[in-house]
Amino acid sequence: MKTFLLVILSICILEGLKIHGTYRMVDRKGDYGTVYIDFGDSTYVKRTSEGAIDKGKIHRVKMPNGRTTIYLKNYVETEDEDSAKQLIRRSWGNSVIEFIETSNDTIPYRVTFVRNLHITLASGRFIKSYK
């Protein structure tokens, strides 16, 4: 009985760690302007100050160290007119946002490629928005 209660308690605690709500995306270099991301259970909506909206899927990957790494992948990738960018996307994969799931109000993230996770395109942090 104690084991059962411990398992149930562990599941409840882990469920509470899931990221939820609205976060402001603060890029280290400040190149992206004001961006807000609304996190749902398995999807997200990213809104920019210019009015652009991206929607995508949240992929949770349980790592061997016990942490959960999250990858945000857009449903639709924008088409690049530049042939060099198209070539990079075909060989390296689409870009994704990667971060470790936590219950903190400030979460560091990085932007990387699906098939080249060792490359960091940009980095910054998500800051919980209470507006």
Residue 10 lies in a domain: no
Chain position carrying tokens 């390296």: 92
Residue 63 lies in a domain: yes
Residue 1 lies in a domain: no
Residue 68 lies in a domain: yes
Domain range spanning residue 79?
Answer: 19-128
Condensed to tens digits (0 to 9), the pLDDT of residues 51-82 reads 888 899 999 999 898 888 999 988 876 665 67
Is residue 92's pLDDT more than 90?
A: no
Count structural domains, the chain.
Answer: 1
Residue 7 lies in a domain: no
Helices (H), the chain: 2-16, 83-92
Is residue 17's pLDDT more than 50?
A: no
Helix, strand, coil abundance in the chain, percent, nearest 5? 20, 45, 35
28 with 108: CB under 8 angstroms?
no
Considering all CA atoms of the chain, what is the largest pairwise distance in Å, rounded to the nearest integer?
62
Q: The domain spanning residue 78 has which CATH number?
A: 2.40.128
pTM of the model: 0.72
What b/e string do you get for 94-104 counting C-beta neighbours within 10 Å, with b at 16 or more?
ebbbbbebeee
Condensed to tens digits (0 to 9), the pLDDT of residues 113-125 reads 888 888 888 899 9
pLDDT band at residue 2 under the 50/70/90 scheme: very low
Phi, psi of 17, rounded to the nearest 5 degrees: -85, -10
